[in-house]
Amino acid sequence: MGVDYSFVLPCRNEEQSIGHCINQIKSVIKNNKLNAEIIVSDSSTDNSKIISKKLNIKVIDHEDVGYGIALIHGLKKAKGKYIVIGDADGSYNFLETPNLIKKITQGYDFVIGSRLKGRINKGSMPWHHRYIGNPLLSKILNLFFKTNVSDTHSGFRIIKKSVLKKLELKTKGMEFASEMIIKAAKNNIAIGEVPISYLKRTGKSKLNSFGDGWRHLRFMLMFSPTYLFFIPGFTLFIFGIMLNFMLLYGNFYLKETDITLFLSVFSSFLSILGFQLVNLGLYSRIYALHSGFEKQDKLIDHIAKMFPFERGILIGVILLFISIINVLLFQRIQNYLISLTIIVLGIQTIFSVFFISMMLVEKNEK
């Protein structure tokens, strides 16, 4: 008979709390008559492994340090149709597991226990995590990936194993929590939430407020080139182009000092920088397709159809031709700078087309 539920606990030096967590889970299994297994993924140097083994728990013994890698080791061994994830530090009340199970049987594929919607005990969460870091990062993730999760960093979750396999989770640190939600959103997985309690953990916290927060933000930006590259890139490019054309109609002064030349150089710099950021956005989206992070990208498909290799090269050559005409017809320093800018953009376009074509050809051959 197959296992219905697998409880997977990442553990590193939690000898003060691991036994309590396991006993809570055993109580849930017994009281709810669940066909379940408990797996502890352990890289501890204290007595955590000994305690788990004495309680007849399956222990995955490894030396890799990190929240994500610990879960990856444990999830590989999980046999249940549903997988419950929870920290082994005593901060989650596993007696609330039936609430998550009930929610996932209501048509959801992935359910997260929300601490912010539930009860946070005094001293269990630093104020800057509760009121700044967690809400802010959750709002950014919801904005970037069109989700509606109040507590994206909660470590108490349940997910269908069939869904988990689709996500192909890879990150090794705390950003694993964000990766689960991001990939679930990209795969149109139904995500639900239930309020949970958050208790004061036993022992010293291993969280690094700035470091872990940055890893979450960095991972979100990596998966969202629109916000990292396209929006800043287009903004700088359009502003630079507009400023360049404004300078053609006269000089600009600051307290009787002619700053036209400075503004011309500055606007050219903005245009080139913005164009480069847009290119980086395209490269990152193609890389996401190439590496399997994304299955399909409508923007890249559209660009590939509208601007094939030859047409892209032609656009680059036309830009070079326009710059030459501009130099010949207009004998002003501003026009020279605009021509130089167009030359750089034209050359960038030609080489970008070569690079994008190579990546798309290699992707199509796979």
Identify whether residues 102 and 167 lie together within a single domain: yes
State how many domains the chain has.
Answer: 2
**pLDDT score recorded for residue 290:** 73
What CATH number corresponds to the domain at position 24?
A: 3.90.550.10
- pTM above 0.85? no
Q: Is residue 275 located within the same domain as residue 141?
A: no
Last residue of a domain, one of 222, 255, 277: 222
Q: Do 116 and 80 share a structural domain?
A: yes
Residue 166 shares a structural domain with residue 281: no
Question: What is the predicted pLDDT for the residue at 340?
Answer: 84
Q: Are 160 and 81 in contact (CB under 8 A)?
A: yes
Domain match, 175 and 321 both: no
**pLDDT at residue 8 in the model:** 98
The per-residue pLDDT for 192 is 97
- Torsion of Cα atoms, 266 then 272 then 274 then 277, to 10°: -140
Does residue 207 sit in the same domain as residue 249? no
Q: Does residue 177 sit in the same domain as residue 275?
A: no
* Tokens matching residue 93: 């009340």
Task: State residue 216's pLDDT score.
Answer: 85
The last residue of a domain, from among 197, 222, 247: 222
| Rounded Cα–Cα distance for residues 177 and 321 (Å) | 51
234 and 360, same domain (yes or no): yes
Pick the closest to residue 38 from 65, 66, 77 (CA basis): 77
Q: Contacts from 26-29 at CB under 8 Å and sequence distance 24+? A: 26/55, 27/95, 28/94, 28/95, 28/97, 28/98, 29/5
pLDDT digits (tens, 9 = 90+) for 266-307: 999 999 999 999 999 888 888 777 766 676 777 777 777 777
Do 151 and 68 fall within a single domain?
yes
- Same structural domain, 200 and 238: no
Same domain? For 289 and 359 the reply is: yes
Give the end of a domain, one of 222, 249, 283: 222
In this prediction, residue 249 carries a pLDDT of: 77
Residues across the chain: 366
The amino acid present at 18, given as its one-letter code, is I
The pLDDT tens digits for 31-45 are 999 999 999 999 999
Residue 86: predicted pLDDT: 96
* Residue ranges making up the domain that contains 270: 225-365
The whole-number mean pLDDT for each consecutive block of 10 residues of the chain, a chain of 366 residues, reads 91 94 97 96 94 95 93 95 96 96 96 95 87 92 93 96 93 91 93 96 76 84 86 95 83 82 89 93 82 72 75 82 75 75 87 82 56
pLDDT of residue 302: 78
180 and 250 together in one domain: no
